[in-house]
Each structure stands twice: as C-alpha cells, then as structure tokens.
A and B are shown apart, each in its own frame.
Chain A
Amino acid sequence: DAGITQSPRHKVTETGTPVTLRCHQTENHRYMYWYRQDPGHGLRLIHYSYGVKDTDKGEVSDGYSVSRSKTEDFLLTLESATSSQTSVYFCAISAEGSGNTIYFGEGSWLTVV
C-alpha cells in the first residue's frame, strides 16, 4: 500500500468555522490531489499540486484553499465551513513517469452542522 495518511479521519464541525485536513505521504511523489466524493456526483477534483508551492484549482475549488510547503504534506483548508462541504475527502498521490498510477488515502469524513 502507498504510504498516504489522512488526518483527521472523522470530524464534525460547525458552520462558519475553519477546518484543515492534512495529507501526508512517505512516497516522495511529485503530484498530490484532493478529491471530494458525494452521492450523485462521484469523485470531483478540488485542488492539486505538482510540486512544493505549486498548486492549481480543480473543478470544485470554491470555498477551499490548499498549501504544500513540503513534498510530503498537502493541506486542504475550508476557510469557513458550510453544510454543502459535508463530504468524504480523499487525498491522492502519483509519481511522474510512473504511467500516472494514482494512489488514494483512506478518506476523511467531514460533517458540517
């Protein structure tokens, strides 16, 4: 299994509060991604990173920001959580030149009440 750790795994938070999810990898892979998974929508890309301090938006980036100050860590921040951000969040990684096989973390379940 790829060395990907997401934290926290489960969180309940109140509307309007900031939330940060952390993804940590031990594989030294270049690319890191944050997806959310919702019934009826499947998995959708929020943000991704192609290197330290290099990030870009995905298809559902509104309300989210990311940071990558080290190769191994990719943080996803909800500046002011809303109920529509209740979801399961998956971090993923892939290596350059690997054929782009992508490896997923176990997920972080976030409930905004």
Chain B
Amino acid sequence: KQEVTQIPAALSVPEGENLVLNCSFTDSAIYNLQWFRQDPGKGLTSLLLIQSSQREQTSGRLNASLDKSSGRSTLYIAASQPGDSATYLCAVGKTSGSRLTFGEGTQLTVNP
C-alpha cells in the first residue's frame, strides 16, 4: 500500500526566504505526482503535476522535482510572500485516472 509522508508538518518563515517542502512515498511505481495548495476552508488547487518520466516542473516561483527511484519529491518556493501561507499537499497517482494517495500536508506560514 502506498504511503505518502510530508515533512515538516508545519513551517514558519520570514517573508522573502526561499524554502523547500519535502514529500516521500514508499512505492516508486507511480504514474505521476502532484502538488496542491489548500487555503483554510477551501478546496485544493493544483500547483504542479510531474509525470513519472519527468524530473521537474516549474511554475513562476515554484519548482517541483521528482526522484522516483528514491521515492522523493521537493517543492521549492522562491522569495516567499505572506500570500503563500497555506497548506501544501503532495499526492501520487498509481495509474491513469488519478486515484491519488495524499500526504497530510505541510502548513506554511510566511510572516511579513
């Protein structure tokens, strides 16, 4: 059974800092990996999707990497802003159709 772990569970940083969120998974036979953002009381918003054949994806100040063999992914946020404060979740898909297994998330607070 796939298990997804995110460390740390919570992170507080000053504005402007570059930061890395970590995600690890136990079964390397994945189809894809996605990073999501969740604001309090809201649904999830997809940030980046990495296919199993890819090593990284970038969107603006966000960069996600994937090392399938070691079962790890990182989400790099450059020049963090207070508006980045949210919970970030990673999820892995086993097959097409996105039956995703989620980590519990990292709650990020960026202080002005």
Contacts and interface: CB of A to CB of B under 8 A. Distances in A.
Given A43-B102, A99-B32, A99-B51, A48 B97 contact: yes
Dominant secondary structure at the B interface: strand
Interface stretch (A13-21, A61-69, A77-85, A101-109): A101-109
A90 B98 contact: no
A106 B51 CA distance: 26
B45 A100 contact: no
A23 B85 CA distance: 28
B46 A101 contact: yes
Given A31-B97, A40-B104, A100-B98, A90 B43 contact: yes
A107 B34 contact: no
Interface size classification for chain A: 20 to 34
Contacts of A90: 43-44
Contacts of A44: 102
Nearest to A30: B97
14 contacts: A31-B98, A42-B103, A43-B44, A43-B100, A44-B102, A45-B100, A96-B97, A99-B51, A100-B31, A101-B34, A102-B34, A103-B46, A105-B43, A106-B43
